[in-house]
């Protein structure tokens, strides 16, 4: 009898010990707004820093694993279904996910030189005769992914505001990411294309013969927690993001830090999505 009690006691404390050392395992979702290998390198420093900060806040070991999705749709659905704990999305993807699952919450938004905005650009080949958006009538256009904020919704809204609709273009296609748009324009596959400014500048540095003919503002990307993430973990994650100031940690992300964000920050983009059909009329 005494032996059975001792064994039960040992098993109980062994279980408690294993739980106490299990720590917190979180999953961070990414989708292919850019090439997967580049994205993983981009986020590694920040995720490591988050682990270190959360270790202190939670008093236990935190491990963050990257879960990659091959498409925007897969990435959105993983957040909506709670298959990843937090993500960094483009605004349009956040709006779509919020519609499907109102329980998701913004943790923070990226800061671009201390602000919540950055630019999208419309580019053409360096030798192109196109000088303005008005010159795009009868020309071909490369958009980004169909769910891309800059690559589709904001760029199409900008074109409409400047007198260009789908029927005015000779043809157009949706490409898989911003880099693909830049390369396609540089190689003459399309007369013009829309992409984010950071990718545009990066591609130009590699020698791609492209130039910008227009730019338009976009909200920086939100970092979002899944619905049902425990309050203690969500709070620690939010606080840790807002505390990241180290330039070396932020270098690959090419942002100056993080700022508090909320759903109202994205009302202009929500409008562009709601009225996207104007481009096709």
Q: How do residues 161-220 score in pLDDT, each as one tens digit?
A: 999 999 999 999 999 899 999 999 999 999 999 999 989 999 999 999 999 999 999 999
Which of 69, 106, 112 lies closest to 253 in space, CA to CA? 112
CATH topology of domain 117-219: D-Maltodextrin-Binding Protein; domain 2 (3.40.190)
Q: What is the CB neighbour count within 10 angstroms for residue 58?
A: 17
- φ, ψ for residue 143 (rounded to 5)? -95, 170
pLDDT of 13 higher than 60: no
What pLDDT does residue 33 have? 57
pLDDT of 234 higher than 90: yes
Say how far apart CA 128 and CA 57 lie, in whole Å. Answer: 55
pLDDT tens figures, 89-131: 989 999 999 999 999 999 999 999 999 999 999 999 999 999 9
Which of 109, 82, 110 lies closest to 97 in space, CA to CA? 82
Which of 197, 196, 88 lies closest to 148 in space, CA to CA? 196
CATH topology of domain 2-113+221-266: D-Maltodextrin-Binding Protein; domain 2 (3.40.190)
Percentage, residues of the chain above pLDDT 90: 81
Give the domain ranges of the chain: 2-113+221-266, 117-219
Q: Please, which residues bridge with residue 112 across strands?
A: 115
- pLDDT-derived band at 35 (thresholds 50, 70, 90) equals low
- pLDDT-derived band at 37 (thresholds 50, 70, 90) equals confident
Contact 212, 122 (CB under 8 A): yes
Of the two residues 254 and 109, the one the predictor is more confident about is 109
| 3-state secondary structure at position 97 | helix
- φ, ψ for residue 142 (rounded to 5)? -105, 115
Say how far apart CA 36 and CA 211 lie, in whole Å. Answer: 26
Say how far apart CA 42 and CA 161 lie, in whole Å. Answer: 34
Percentage, residues of the chain above pLDDT 70: 90
pLDDT of 12 higher than 80: no
pLDDT of 66 higher than 90: yes
- Residues with Cβ within 8 Å of 158's Cβ and at least 6 positions away in sequence, in order, are 120, 122, 133, 214, 216
- Residues with Cβ within 8 Å of 92's Cβ and at least 6 positions away in sequence, in order, are 147, 148, 149, 152, 153, 269, 273
What pLDDT does residue 170 have? 98
pLDDT of 20 higher than 90: no
| 3-state secondary structure at position 1 | coil
Averaged pLDDT for residues 260-264: 96
pLDDT of 264 higher than 60: yes
Q: Structure tokens of 143?
A: 């958009």
pLDDT of 14 higher than 60: no
Same fold, 2-113+221-266 and 117-219: yes
Average pLDDT, the chain: 90
pLDDT of 142 higher than 80: yes
Q: Structure tokens of 186?
A: 């540089």
């Amino acid at each position: 009898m005494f032996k059975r009690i001792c064994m039960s006691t040992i098993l109980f404390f062994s279980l408690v010990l294993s739980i106490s050392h299990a720590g917190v395992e979180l999953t961070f979702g990414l989708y292919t707004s850019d090439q997967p290998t580049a994205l993983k390198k981009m986020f590694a420093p920040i995720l490591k820093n988050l682990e270190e900060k959360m270790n202190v806040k939670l008093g236990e070991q935190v491990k963050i694993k990257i879960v990659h999705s091959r498409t925007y749709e897969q990435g959105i659905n993983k957040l909506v279904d709670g298959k990843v704990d937090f993500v960094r999305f483009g605004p349009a993807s956040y709006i779509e996910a919020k519609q499907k699952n109102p329980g998701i919450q913004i943790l923070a938004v990226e800061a671009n030189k201390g602000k919540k905005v950055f630019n999208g650009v419309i580019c053409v080949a360096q030798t192109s005769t196109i000088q303005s958006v008005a010159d795009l009538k009868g020309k071909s256009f490369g958009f980004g992914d169909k769910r891309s904020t800059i690559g589709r919704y904001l760029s199409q809204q900008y074109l409409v505001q400047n007198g260009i609709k789908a029927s005015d273009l000779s043809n157009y296609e949706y490409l898989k990411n911003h880099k693909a748009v830049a390369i396609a324009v540089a190689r003459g596959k399309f007369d013009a294309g829309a992409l984010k400014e950071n990718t545009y500048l990066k591609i130009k540095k590699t020698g791609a013969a492209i130039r910008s003919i227009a730019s338009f503002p976009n909200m920086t990307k939100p970092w979002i927690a899944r619905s049902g993430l425990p309050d203690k973990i969500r709070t620690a994650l939010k606080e840790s993001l807002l505390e990241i100031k180290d330039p070396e940690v932020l270098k690959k992300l090419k942002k100056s830090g993080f700022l508090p964000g909320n759903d109202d920050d994205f009302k202009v983009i929500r409008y562009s999505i709601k009225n996207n059909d104007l481009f096709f009329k």
